[in-house]
Amino acid sequence: MELPATLLPFLLACSSMPAPHAASGDDGSQAVLDAIDAARGHSAELARELWGLAEVGYQEEESCALLAGELERAGFIVQRGVAGMPTAFVASFGSGKPVLGVLGEFDALPGMTQAAEPRMGPAKEAAEEPPGSRQQKKLRGGDAGHACGHNLFGPGSLAAVIAVKDWMSAHGTGGTLRYYGTPAEEGGGGKLYMVRAGLFDDVDAVLAWHPADRNDPSKPTSLAALAADFTFHGVAAHALVAPDKGRSALDALEAFDHMVNLMREHVPSDARIHYVITNGGKAPNIVPDTAAASYLVRHPKLDVLDEIWPRVLKAAEGAALGTGTTMEWKLVSFYYPLLGNAYLSGLQAKNMQRVGGVHYTDEERAFAEDLAKTLPPGGLPIGSQEGISPSDAVAGRGSTDVGDVSWVVPTTGFFAATWVPGTPPHTWQAVAASGTTIGEKGMLVAAKTVALTLIDLFSDPAHVERARAEFEEQRGSHAYTSRIGDRPPPLDYRKRS
């Protein structure tokens, strides 16, 4: 198969690597791919179960138990509740070097519940299930949905490590294989606390992937991100009878938001500032004594983010001073930018080429074509999911706590086409596809790519050594320092009023 021109830089950078394993499967890799295919039904069941649970960050009790239990039954030793987080776990198999880690995420996003079944048609509507079903129970208690496809991320990584564990046993391969169950990626920063606890200190390489609208093995990048909650405190009073006796916390919050919005013109153009008001008061005839907002500030470079953030704080302080209120803020998370490893990316690119892309059935294609009518113009066309689409177009658009992992151990990741081409993340269209066979097929592409890359790393120590050499050179003298201090994980960050 002829490689796309945009993929060549990644493979040329790795031209000195040992010859890849034979496509014939003499090393047992074909048997691993066959095993993943044989278990695809069960993997799909897990993905659908997580899709229905749709548990938000640090509240993923059932999702965590489901994945950890699967790994335990497969022969992994599971440590639950690690790093002070009840829904974080590490599953290990084997012993000695190399130590290879695979990441698995499973948290959903609030406010994103959505129907999935193709028979229901791709329309923006809340999921409906028979009375008494698990999904209906969850919808009564909340409106979360897997708009970032983490219901596929967790089971896809699980399918890869279980297949490779069996390969290790069959071939007598030494080394340690770990699955990291990482909660609250969506703003809660679960991996930050796992890194701080030293859970990655002895790891030689970490592999990750993420759902997307394309198959893209390019070297991953991301933005540094700081998330914080702001609360203003004023004095309540009757808004008609005695407004002069009150001091509006909502006035302070609105002044703060307005000043930050004015500031957008005077920060670097590649900076991003987002916020949402989480508490604006309870009734219009009461001067609000409490108001709150959640903020997220991003930039590709840490030093620039460090310049922007104090200005945001000054705006909050000024708003409180000008309205006669007080202000407090609390750090929720601080993500490092992703330090992707080109050598590891070259391995995964070669393996993704071997695996290939996603092919739709007639029913899936009809669903995709209907869904595409609801998407913004200019996206990838339907059919592109059948190939590999390396591109820098999506580089640096997101933020992830994988970034912190990448500053302590060589790390790579890739995108797999679990969504209809052209689908942006954090949309109802992403939720819909993540609950269908379209999502499950992309999940299998990811599982196979991760599994083949693990086999490469276990089979030849030179791969690990070269990935480490690049990591040390790229990081240089900039040693990782956690930005969260000694604060405990924000286990209640999704429980705010």
Question: CA 238 → CA 255, 285, 325, 327, distances in Å?
Answer: 21, 6, 17, 22
For residues 203 and 331, membership in a common domain is answered with no
Q: What pLDDT score was predicted for residue 154?
A: 97
Regarding whether 367 and 305 lie in a shared domain, the answer is no
What pLDDT does 398 receive? 84
Question: Does a structural domain hold residue 211?
Answer: yes
In-domain check, residue 497 = no
* pTM, rounded to two decimals: 0.86
Pairing label, strands 205-207, 99-105: parallel
Residues 326 and 342 in one domain: no
482 in any annotated domain: no
Token digits of residue 352: 């993704």
Distance of CA 262 to the CA centre of its chain: 31
Task: Note whether residue 399 is domain-resident.
Answer: yes
Q: Is residue 373 in a domain?
A: yes
Do 180 and 272 belong to one domain? no
Contact between 84 and 196 under an 8 Å Cβ cutoff? The reply is no
Q: Of the candidates 335, 352, 381, which is a domain's last residue?
A: 335
Residue 391 sits in the same domain as residue 454 = yes
Is 122 a domain residue?
yes
**Number of other residues whose CB lies within 10 A of the CB of residue 168:** 21
Pair 418, 326 in one domain? no
Range of the domain at 304: 224-335
**Do 218 and 351 fall into the same domain?**
yes
State how far the Cα of 211 lies from the Cα of 209, in Å rounded to an integer.
Answer: 7
- Which string of b and e fits 271-282 if b means at least 16 CB within 10 Å? bbbebeeebebe
The answer to whether residues 454 and 310 belong to one domain is no
Q: Do 190 and 125 share a domain, yes or no? A: yes
Judgement on whether residues 23 and 68 belong to the same structural domain of the protein? yes
206 with 122, same domain: the answer is yes
Q: Are residues 182 and 213 both part of a single domain?
A: yes
Residues 336-382 have pLDDT tens digits of 999 999 999 999 999 999 999 999 999 999 999 999 999 999 889 99
Contacts 24+ apart (CB under 8 A), 163-166: 163/32, 163/35, 163/36, 163/39, 163/447, 163/451, 164/32, 164/451, 164/454, 164/455, 164/458, 165/74, 165/75, 165/76, 165/93, 165/94, 166/32, 166/35
Q: Give the separation between CA 244 and CA 210, rounded to whole angstroms.
A: 53
- 310 found inside a domain: yes
**The two three-digit tokens of residue 196, written as one number:** 């701080």
58 contacts 494 by C-beta, under 8 angstroms:
yes
Q: Which residues of the chain have pLDDT under 50?
A: 1-25, 118-120, 127-141, 393-395, 497
Distance in angstroms (rounded) separating the CA atoms of residues 168 and 146:
33
Q: Would you mind telling me the total number of residues written for the chain in this entry? A: 497
Q: Which of 335, 358, 391 is the last residue of a domain?
A: 335
Q: How many domains does the chain have?
A: 2
CATH of the domain at 269: 3.30.70.360
Is residue 466 a part of any domain in this protein? Answer: yes
CA 26 to chain centre: 34
Contact yes or no for 465/356 (Cβ under 8 A) = no
- Read off the CATH number of the domain in which 348 is found: 3.40.630.10
